[in-house]
Amino acid sequence: MNENVILDVRHLQKGYRKAPVLKDVSFQVKQGHILGLIGKNGAGKTTLMKSILGLNTKYQGEIIFHGKKLMPSDETMKAEIGSLVDVSFYDDMTAYQNLKVIMMLTKAVPTAEQDERIRELLSFVGLESSGKKSVRSFSFGMKQRLALAQAMITKPVLLILDEPFVGLDPIGMEDVKELLRKLCRENKTSIIFSSHQLTEVCDLADDIVILNNGVISYANTYENMKSSGLSFVELMRQEGN
């Protein structure tokens, strides 16, 4: 395996109640790269992300992370993966308290450093003045920023983000894109993100994977895709094989 590859998904298959959702998905993510995952609604993007995160069980195939098979029981590996997939906060608690709850569940941040790390994260996502506000009073965009903050609690080497730009205003989108680029550049964090906002995908992704009807219908670098003159919409319309 290429040493640069941080995540290697091999022949992943997953269905719900005998209805197959992922039929045979294989792809790799390189260290410090941003992979844009694109597909129509119901293509299997969220199922794929949840399988990598261990939220889905009984899937077939292999997921290799850092050269080792990713096991749902491996907490050290789990701490190296941050995620934003259908995040639902405790609305009746403050942003600070929500992050504190998540922080208490990991050994990656020592207790003495937790408060400082929460302040850092809130500032990083532009919520430093809203830490003591109840999440119930947050706009959707603010919740997205908080969700991004919780994904980065453990300083993960891999970030899995499902629709991270939904609900963000244009400035918010630019901020998040810049933040993700910074993570890649400075920390060599690898990122998988799904999005229906194709402009953001073009702006951000190094690699493109198009998921269609449970299979990958296209996978290439964004540069190659652009130079070949292919359009996202055309590729998304193609039926998976």
Partner 1 sequence: MSLTQIIKTELYKNSHRKSSLILFLPMVLTVIVTLGYAQGVIELNLITGGSGTYSCMDFVFIVWNVLSGLGILGILMILFAALQFSGEIERGQIKFMLLRTGNRATVVWGKYLATVMVTVVFIAGTLFVSIVSYYLFLSGSSIGTGTFASTIDGFSTMNIWGSIALQIIVYLFLTGVTFLAGMFVNPFVTFMLTLFVMYAINYLAGAENRISRLLPNYWSSQMALNKTVQAIPVFTSVVAIVVLTLMLLSVTIMLFQKQDIK
Sites of contact with partner 1 (CB under 8 A): 16, 50, 53-58, 71-75, 78-79, 81, 83, 85-90, 92-93, 97, 100-102, 104-107, 150
The SS3 of residue 60 is: strand
How near is the Cβ of 185 to partner 1 at its closest, in Å?
A: 25
How near is the Cβ of 84 to partner 1 at its closest, in Å?
A: 11
Of the pair 91, 174, the CB lying nearest partner 1 is at 91
Of the pair 74, 175, the CB lying nearest partner 1 is at 74
Q: Which of 180, 177, 196 is nearest to 188 (CA)?
A: 180
Which is it for strands 158-162 and 190-194: parallel, antiparallel or unpaired? parallel
- Torsion, Cα of 92, 95, 101, 106 (10° steps): 160
Q: Give the separation between CA 200 and CA 94, rounded to whole angstroms.
A: 30
How near is the Cβ of 154 to partner 1 at its closest, in Å?
A: 8
Q: Which of 154, 85, 144 is nearest to 114 (CA)?
A: 154
How near is the Cβ of 128 to partner 1 at its closest, in Å?
A: 20
Of the pair 92, 239, the CB lying nearest partner 1 is at 92
- DSSP calls for 163-180: STTTT--HHHHHHHHHHH
Of the pair 90, 139, the CB lying nearest partner 1 is at 90
Q: Give the separation between CA 24 and CA 241, rounded to whole angstroms.
A: 10
How near is the Cβ of 50 to partner 1 at its closest, in Å?
A: 7
The SS3 of residue 230 is: coil
Of the pair 6, 208, the CB lying nearest partner 1 is at 6
- Provide the CA 144 distance to its chain's centre, in angstroms: 12
Structure tokens belonging to residue 125:
């996502």
How near is the Cβ of 190 to partner 1 at its closest, in Å?
A: 17
Of the pair 67, 72, the CB lying nearest partner 1 is at 72
Q: Give the separation between CA 189 and CA 159, rounded to whole angstroms.
A: 7
